[in-house]
Structure 1
Amino acid sequence: MKIRITVVDQKGNCPCHRAHQVGDVFDYDQDRGKLCPLAMHVLFPMIDILRYGGKLKSDVFCCPDVDTINVFKIEKLDE
């Protein structure tokens, strides 16, 4: 199973410190090093839930950077 992570919105006042832009798409297994560590800290537990068959109340989560609040959408893709 693949996990796709997409930047769907930015709500902060500053550009992203990792240069993420709305529309950026990441494959969790192939692009892990390209994704911001702050975002990964938030997203990892959600990804783990999806990988082990759990369900999420929402598929949208934001990073904890108050200067740049990136909003990420997590999708489980069946191969």
Structure 2
Amino acid sequence: MLQDTLTIRYYQKLSDALVDLWNRGYRFDDLRLFVDGYLASLRHTNGLEPYLIHRLEEEIVRYLYDPSNFEKTETELDYR
């Protein structure tokens, strides 16, 4: 579980971007490359402490492998 506020903010941005990319037609391999690039840029810029980047990577990979995060929800139409 992430507890650092900056790490949580990066997690939220990254997970939102993954869902957006999925909805635009990118697939799992593309999303994994995106995650790898995002994490590499955090490492390169020293945006977070290395152990926090590692925790972020663990959490976002868990998010990525959960198919329920990328399912479209069915909405009910109101026919009044």
Q: Same fold (TM over 0.5)?
A: no
TM-score (norm 1): 0.38
TM-score (norm 2): 0.37
